[in-house]
Amino acid sequence: MERYDIAIVGTGPAGVSAAISAKIRNKKVLLIGDKDLSKKMRQAHEISNYPGFPKVKGEDLAHAMAEHLAQMEIAITNVKVVNIYAMGKYFSLQTTGETFEALSVIIATGVMPGKMIDGEEGLVGSGVSYCATCDAPLYRGKDVIVAAYGKEEEKEAVFLSEVAREVAFFPVYNGDPSEMPGNVRVVREVPTGIRREGPKMVLETAQGSYETDGIFVLRESVSPGALVPGLATEGPHITVDRQMRTNIKGLFACGDITGRPYQYIRAAGEGNVAALSAVEYLS
Ligand SMILES: Cc1cc2nc3c(=O)[nH]c(=O)nc-3n(C[C@H](O)[C@H](O)[C@H](O)COP(=O)(O)OP(=O)(O)OC[C@H]3O[C@@H](n4cnc5c(N)ncnc54)[C@H](O)[C@@H]3O)c2cc1C
């Protein structure tokens, strides 16, 4: 398998900045994220604190960053990373597509919006899954629940409906879901808890309890503790030092995922530091 020098997870200002600096240092870079870069960046109506771009629209700043990546021939691999494993001398990145390998990794996934569902974290890999592509085969002919935190996750529910017997779909976002296949039942309730009862899983809402075989919790980002086993975290943030090093050798983090304030320029600055630290680690 092709092995990269630096895999960067996330395409907001932190990940883009890290990719640019790593490429300038002639490293073989894998940039994983969203082909549209970052929803948060595009949502900003007007940004007044990014030096050199007064009153820039988020959409325009994102466009300028995408142009910069294209000019430097840095491609975006448009998948979601669901697990990162430290294998000793390299890292293995499991994604909703293929698996990748890299000598070092920079996590720039932004901060996960909202809270995890009560009981979710302890059951990841044991009835709770973050990846339909990876785990759908486990539920062939069985029932699953999908808690979807974005409209874009609907396609994952449709994919699961081709494998599972029945899908109970909980849309935790504004707006109505698009039309779903016949074996997808839409439940407009907000998940509040997850527990295991013998071989079955149970999802709770304020209105009731729903028994199933497996629960898919699908969000734009995965909580850092669930992403990397053994990673030191403080609440929703990854613990780093001033060089953006985590407690795991060769693993760095930058941007909103490392803490407040949540700002573009801080994210971009930390991306630069993380890339240079990864370069130093590799040498
Ligand atoms: C409406 C709004 C207005 C704002 N206005 C301002 C402002 O005026 N000034 C300012 O400084 N800041 C502003 N911010 C804050 C700013 O958007 C964030 O601080 C900044 O985007 C953080 O950058 P980041 O790179 O850390 O993460 P993000 O921009 O959140 O990017 C994270 C990226 O990682 C990807 N990702 C996440 N998980 C995974 C995974 N598991 N696998 C693959 N990819 C993954 C996501 O898809 C996303 O592309 C605003 C935010 C919002 C929402």
Protein residue with its CA nearest to atom 13 in ligand 1? 263
- Asked if the domains 3-113+221-282 and 121-218 are classified in one and the same CATH topology, the answer is yes
Are 63 and 9 contacting, i.e. CB atoms less than 8 angstroms apart? no
Are 128 and 194 contacting, i.e. CB atoms less than 8 angstroms apart? yes
Per-residue pLDDT reduced to its tens digit, 88-116: 999 999 998 899 999 999 999 999 877 88
Give me the pLDDT at residue 133, please.
Answer: 84
Tokens linked to 202 = 């149970």
Tell me how far apart the alpha carbons of residues 82 and 229 are, in angstroms, rounded to a whole number: 11
Tokens linked to 19 = 């990719």
Give me the pLDDT at residue 134, please.
Answer: 83
B/e letters for 197-233, b = 16+ CB within 10 Å, e = fewer, are eeeebbbbbeeeebebbbbbbbbbbbbbbbbbeebeb
B/e letters for 166-190, b = 16+ CB within 10 Å, e = fewer, are bbbbbbbeeeebeebeeebeebebe
Of 62, 56, 49, nearest to 15 by C-alpha is 62
Residue 253 CA: distances (Å) to CA of 9, 37, 129, 132, 258 = 9, 17, 23, 26, 7
191-197: strand order across its sheet = 191-197, 200-205, 209-212
How far is the centre of ligand 1, averaged over its atoms, from the C-alpha of 245 (Å)? 20
Q: Find out whether the beta carbon of 264 lies less than 6 Å from any atom of ligand 1.
A: yes
pLDDT in tens, the chain (283 residues): 899 999 999 999 999 999 999 999 999 999 999 999 998 888 888 898 999 999 999 999 999 999 999 999 999 999 999 999 999 999 999 998 899 999 999 999 999 877 889 999 889 888 999 889 888 999 999 999 999 999 989 999 999 999 999 999 999 999 999 999 999 999 999 999 999 999 999 999 999 999 999 999 999 888 898 899 999 999 889 999 999 999 999 999 999 999 999 999 999 999 999 999 999 999 9
Are 48 and 58 contacting, i.e. CB atoms less than 8 angstroms apart? no
Average pLDDT value for the chain: 95
Tell me how far apart the alpha carbons of residues 225 and 91 are, in angstroms, rounded to a whole number: 16
Are 72 and 64 contacting, i.e. CB atoms less than 8 angstroms apart? no
Q: Which of 31, 99, 262, 273 to mutate to test the pocket of ligand 1 (most atoms within 8 A of CB)?
A: 262
Give me the pLDDT at residue 139, please.
Answer: 96
pTM: 0.90
Of 138, 142, 118, nearest to 205 by C-alpha is 118
Give me the pLDDT at residue 121, please.
Answer: 84
How many Cα neighbours within 13 Å face the side chain of 230?
8
Give me the pLDDT at residue 76, please.
Answer: 98
Q: Find out whether the beta carbon of 236 lies less than 6 Å from any atom of ligand 1.
A: no
CATH architecture, range 3-113+221-282:
3-Layer(bba) Sandwich (3.50)
Give me the pLDDT at residue 115, please.
Answer: 83
Q: Find out whether the beta carbon of 173 lies less than 6 Å from any atom of ligand 1.
A: no
The structural domains of the chain, with segments of one domain joined by +, span: 3-113+221-282, 121-218
Give me the pLDDT at residue 72, please.
Answer: 98
Protein residue with its CA nearest to atom 25 in ligand 1? 12
How far is the centre of ligand 1, averaged over its atoms, from the C-alpha of 157 (Å)? 25
Q: Find out whether the beta carbon of 219 lies less than 6 Å from any atom of ligand 1.
A: no
Per-residue pLDDT reduced to its tens digit, 135-175: 899 999 999 999 999 998 999 999 999 999 999 999 999 99
Are 223 and 235 contacting, i.e. CB atoms less than 8 angstroms apart? no
Q: Name the superfamily (CATH) of residues 121-218.
A: FAD/NAD(P)-binding domain (3.50.50.60)
Query: At which residue do the structure tokens 């992403």 appear?
Result: 227
